[in-house]
A and B are shown apart, each in its own frame.
Chain A
Amino acid sequence: MASKILQKPEAFYKRYERNPSSDKKSPHYCPGCGHGNVHKFIAEALDDYNVADQTILISPVGCSVFAYYYFDTGNIQAAHGRAPAVATGIKRAHPHSIVISYQGDGDLAAIGTAEILHAANRGENITVFFVNNAIYGMTGGQMAPTTLVDQYSTTTPRGRNPHNEGYPIKVAELISQLEAPVYVERVSLHDTKNRNKARRAVRKALKNQIDNLGFSLVEILSPCTSGWKMDAVPSMKWIEENMVPQFPLGVFKDITDEVEPYERPEMDLSAQDIKKALGLEVVESESFEKPDFPNKYKNPEIKVAGFGGQGVLLLGAAMAQAGMLEDYHVSWLPSYGPEMRGGTANCHVNIRDIEVGSPMVTNPTVLIALNRPSLEKFENDVPEGGLIIYDTSLIDIEVKRTDVEVMPLPATKMADELGNTRTANMITLAAYAAYTGIFSKETLYETLNTAIKHKKFIDINKKAIDLGYEFGLKSKLS
């Protein structure tokens, strides 16, 4: 034991080369500071469990910002308060690593409150060492969230006043209220007995992580000789007399006997598996031949408009899908943002021989109106010679324009007769395709495979396509 106390743990660097000071042997902490003790407990535990090589220590912002000077482990320096989030990131990237979030009270209990609470609540399999010295050491003795009532600090020059600054935050108590953490203990450095307890707590918190048990936090009451403007001995006494009554010591939560170890599953996937998971298996469906059809219907700029819930977006997407199957350049843009108000929905579809420029359609050469407000709103946007298709079963007015082609289509009625109102949009798609000649029936059938999510509805939609197609052909002739 004696030799151990004298010897520097292996998990510390032999010389602190990263410290810019000429003294590469001594730590940068003030004499009597508690950080050195806590570092030593951690390093000893890393030695005992032989895990220093796989350990990654997160240095916070605070006096321990330079913890990476000392630990012969992987080291990350994090932004103020964010160490638990950084720890989460690296632990998820390399679940086998042992990740330590080392934090002061400003770091953990003020600016980083959200990060610690949620890392704890997720039960991240990390270990948090929380050094509570009731003051901001690094910045020169300002108030911490853990500063005691009436305690002097440079920003509470008359002592902490609960009416102004509230009360000290009890982190161990808070964290232990959450379901996920497996071990929460508060220890103190003020005498040998308590330092031994602290050493044991540090070991246990690390062991929990090694055993994949989950989140552990050890709060350590620790002296800040400079911040408190006290020598080492009275500062120990001050902890005992002032901090311990406010921050009772002990185990606040320990469910390590009850929880099952959890290891994140690993997957080894082939390129094919990955593509399958992404829905990208190559289905080499041949592209469908483009039927010949009148120039006036080529490169349509389409607007489909109706009530939300009428399948407006789906109809537009099916048109784009059909166009893609026939190797056209296509785009589909849903109504979005301010356009979306009032329960109406519309979408813009381009089907082009060459690349689509603007995906937005303001003057549709094809307007498909599925309700009256849509027809009224967009009728006059259609350029001369354009095409208006409207659902006569739902729209009780007629198209006023005389300089455009019109196909009145009782789509909803036809769909109802077929036995499913929802097929109205496929009827409309097919009627449009047959009327203009833009898509073959085969293309439309193929389109159903992506447009219709539930396979059991494919058959009825095929019938809808037949019906619509027939209607479109007839309209063309009349």
Chain B
Amino acid sequence: MSKILLKGNDAIVRGAVLAGCRLYFGYPITPASEIAEAAAKYIPQVGGTFLQAESEVAAINMVYGAASGGVRVMTASSSPGISLKQEGVSYAAGAELPCVIVDIMRGGPGLGNIAPEQSDYNQIVKGGGHGNYKCPVLAPNGGQEMSDLTQFAFELAEKYRTPVYILADGYTGQMMEPVEFGEPVSELPHHDWALYGDQESKFNLISSIYLDPEELEAHNQMLQDKYKLIEENELRVEEFMLEDAEYVVMGYGIISRILKTVVEKLRKEGVKIGLLRPITLFPFPNDKIARLSERIKGMLVVEMSNGQMVQDVRLAALGRCPVEFYGRMGGVVPSMQELLDQTKQFISKEN
């Protein structure tokens, strides 16, 4: 047995170090500070650099600089800090720089509070900064995934030369669960586009500038092709009891954990219900939802937001089945009983 019990925030950092990340730039903010603290503890011990930047703006631009050097680099923050990072993420997307950005979401808008919300879906999944870009978004719902998906995020980032987000909430960050860790990666890839401070790589240019509109259009088209490839190859979902389901509940992150218990309880009562949980939010399971919508009686989407992901679900379902929404905001996490009641109400309504 080689599991250890630890917080999701800690699992992210240890996973990142195993993935070869040796540079961390960040600015403290609750509830993501534990990630910075764990990074400050571990990364220098393995010969890397942890740097507390003067702001999130500076931190993401340090990430931009380090990523230009072809090394694995990350930053983490929470909602208000992510808003500030958006400038740098847009530049990194434009210059095609791989990096990993963690968002431990909190309540907004504005300073809001430090309780868990899921109201960053739009700013993270839809690009967030200026320009025609998106980033792959991974949404862990427990300790093991906090580590595994972080490691995967570095691979994904390099494979497609893009920033990748880990989108989680305060609960998933604070929760302790047993986590199993693998071996550290032994060799990191050499990138022919990166700058290593040597003669071989010096012709490389890291830039998001394409002055000529047609050239910029071609660059944008290339980015769109890349996103299409990501959509075709990198979708991850968890499907729970969907085979014969007449009703489907859908949620990501901590909500999916609560919904899973709801499904277990209702199955015991004989209700044919299942859970669809996106693990990647971009790419999004459009086709899965479309296919489900043809045969089920209805879908209930639960979020700790005003209803952001549900818009994508409705687009995918295209009116072929009712798509209902239940949300809590401000950092209120719905209880299992509350979601059980809501699901029952939704079922009786659709019947």
Confirm or deny: A330 has a beta carbon within 8 angstroms of a beta carbon on chain B.
yes
Number of interface residues of B (CB under 8 A): 82
Residues from chain B with Cβ under 8 Å of A97 in the complex? 69, 195-197
The listed residue (B4, B61, B66) touching A93 by CB distance below 8 A is: B66
Residues from chain A with Cβ under 8 Å of B261 in the complex? 357-358
Q: Take A53-B202, A94-B69 as given contacts and tell me if A336 and B5 are in contact as well, using a CB distance cutoff of 8 Å.
A: no
Whether the Cβ atoms of A337 and B113 lie closer than 8 Å is yes
The listed residue (A52, A90, A264, A284) touching B1 by CB distance below 8 A is: A284
Residues from chain A with Cβ under 8 Å of B333 in the complex? 360
A279 vs B46: C-alpha distance when bound (angstroms): 12
Confirm or deny: B178 has a beta carbon within 8 angstroms of a beta carbon on chain A.
yes
A94 vs B61: C-alpha distance when bound (angstroms): 16
The listed residue (B45, B114, B205) touching A337 by CB distance below 8 A is: B114
A117 vs B199: C-alpha distance when bound (angstroms): 31
Find the B residue at minimum CB distance from A313.
Answer: B176
| Cβ proximity bits A262-282 to B, threshold 8 Å, 1 near / 0 not | 001111110101110111101
Confirm or deny: A32 has a beta carbon within 8 angstroms of a beta carbon on chain B.
no
Residues from chain B with Cβ under 8 Å of A93 in the complex? 23, 65-66, 68-71, 73
Nearest chain B CB to A344 CB, angstrom units: 16
Whether the Cβ atoms of B177 and A89 lie closer than 8 Å is no
Confirm or deny: A467 has a beta carbon within 8 angstroms of a beta carbon on chain B.
no
Find the A residue at minimum CB distance from B335.
Answer: A362
Whether the Cβ atoms of A357 and B4 lie closer than 8 Å is no
A222 vs B333: C-alpha distance when bound (angstroms): 59
Whether the Cβ atoms of B186 and A271 lie closer than 8 Å is yes
Whether the Cβ atoms of A77 and B205 lie closer than 8 Å is yes
Q: Take A89-B25, A274-B17 as given contacts and tell me if A330 and B177 are in contact as well, using a CB distance cutoff of 8 Å.
A: yes
Residues from chain A with Cβ under 8 Å of B181 in the complex? 275, 278, 280
A297 vs B185: C-alpha distance when bound (angstroms): 43
| Cβ proximity bits A14-52 to B, threshold 8 Å, 1 near / 0 not | 000010100000000000000000000000000000001
Confirm or deny: A86 has a beta carbon within 8 angstroms of a beta carbon on chain B.
yes
A75 vs B227: C-alpha distance when bound (angstroms): 26
Residues from chain B with Cβ under 8 Å of A271 in the complex? 183-184, 186
A98 vs B14: C-alpha distance when bound (angstroms): 31
A238 vs B186: C-alpha distance when bound (angstroms): 60
Confirm or deny: B326 has a beta carbon within 8 angstroms of a beta carbon on chain A.
no
Residues from chain A with Cβ under 8 Å of B83 in the complex? none
| Cβ proximity bits B157-185 to A, threshold 8 Å, 1 near / 0 not | 00000000000001100111110010110
Residues from chain A with Cβ under 8 Å of B209 in the complex? 65, 77
Nearest chain A CB to B5 CB, angstrom units: 5
Confirm or deny: B331 has a beta carbon within 8 angstroms of a beta carbon on chain A.
yes
A147 vs B3: C-alpha distance when bound (angstroms): 62
Number of interface residues of A (CB under 8 A): 81
Confirm or deny: B123 has a beta carbon within 8 angstroms of a beta carbon on chain A.
no
Confirm or deny: A226 has a beta carbon within 8 angstroms of a beta carbon on chain B.
no
Whether the Cβ atoms of B57 and A269 lie closer than 8 Å is no
Whether the Cβ atoms of B54 and A118 lie closer than 8 Å is yes
Whether the Cβ atoms of B65 and A89 lie closer than 8 Å is yes
Within 109-144 of A, Cβ neighbours of B (below 8 Å) are at: 114-115, 117-118, 122
Confirm or deny: B296 has a beta carbon within 8 angstroms of a beta carbon on chain A.
no
Q: Take A79-B88, A90-B68 as given contacts and tell me if A358 and B260 are in contact as well, using a CB distance cutoff of 8 Å.
A: yes
Whether the Cβ atoms of A362 and B65 lie closer than 8 Å is no
Q: Take A54-B198, A336-B174 as given contacts and tell me if A68 and B207 are in contact as well, using a CB distance cutoff of 8 Å.
A: yes
A360 vs B69: C-alpha distance when bound (angstroms): 43
Nearest chain B CB to A373 CB, angstrom units: 20
A277 vs B17: C-alpha distance when bound (angstroms): 10
Find the B residue at minimum CB distance from A86.
Answer: B65
Nearest chain B CB to A188 CB, angstrom units: 30
The listed residue (B31, B42, B186, B258) touching A277 by CB distance below 8 A is: B42
Among A155-163, A170-178, A317-325, the stretch that binds chain B is: A317-325
Residues from chain A with Cβ under 8 Å of B197 in the complex? 54-56, 74, 90, 94, 96-98
Nearest chain A CB to B53 CB, angstrom units: 7
Whether the Cβ atoms of A82 and B57 lie closer than 8 Å is yes
A250 vs B258: C-alpha distance when bound (angstroms): 67
| Cβ proximity bits A173-197 to B, threshold 8 Å, 1 near / 0 not | 0000000000000000000000000
Whether the Cβ atoms of A85 and B53 lie closer than 8 Å is yes
Confirm or deny: A283 has a beta carbon within 8 angstroms of a beta carbon on chain B.
yes
Whether the Cβ atoms of B23 and A89 lie closer than 8 Å is yes
Find the B residue at minimum CB distance from A321.
Answer: B5
Whether the Cβ atoms of A358 and B258 lie closer than 8 Å is yes
Residues from chain A with Cβ under 8 Å of B49 in the complex? 92, 264
Nearest chain B CB to A450 CB, angstrom units: 7
In the complex, besides A88-B62, A117-B54, A271-B186, 5 extra interface pairs with C-beta distance below 8 angstroms are A85-B62, A88-B65, A89-B65, A94-B197, A284-B2
Using a CB–CB cutoff of 8 Å, the interface residues on chain B facing chain A are 1-5, 14, 17-18, 23, 25, 31, 42, 45-47, 49, 51, 53-55, 57-59, 61-71, 73, 87-88, 91, 95, 113-116, 142, 170-171, 174-178, 181, 183-184, 186, 195-199, 201-202, 204-209, 211-212, 254, 257-258, 260-261, 264, 331-333, 335-337
Top 4 A-B pairs ranked by shortest CB distance? A89-B65, A97-B197, A267-B47, A337-B115
Jot down 14 A-B pairs with beta carbons below 8 A, ordered by A.
Answer: A52-B202, A56-B68, A74-B202, A74-B204, A82-B88, A85-B53, A92-B49, A93-B70, A94-B69, A114-B57, A336-B115, A338-B113, A357-B260, A357-B264
Using a CB–CB cutoff of 8 Å, the interface residues on chain A facing chain B are 18, 20, 52-56, 58-59, 65, 68, 72-79, 82, 85-94, 96-98, 114-115, 117-118, 122, 264-269, 271, 273-275, 277-280, 282-287, 317, 320-321, 324-325, 327, 329-334, 336-338, 356-360, 362-363, 450
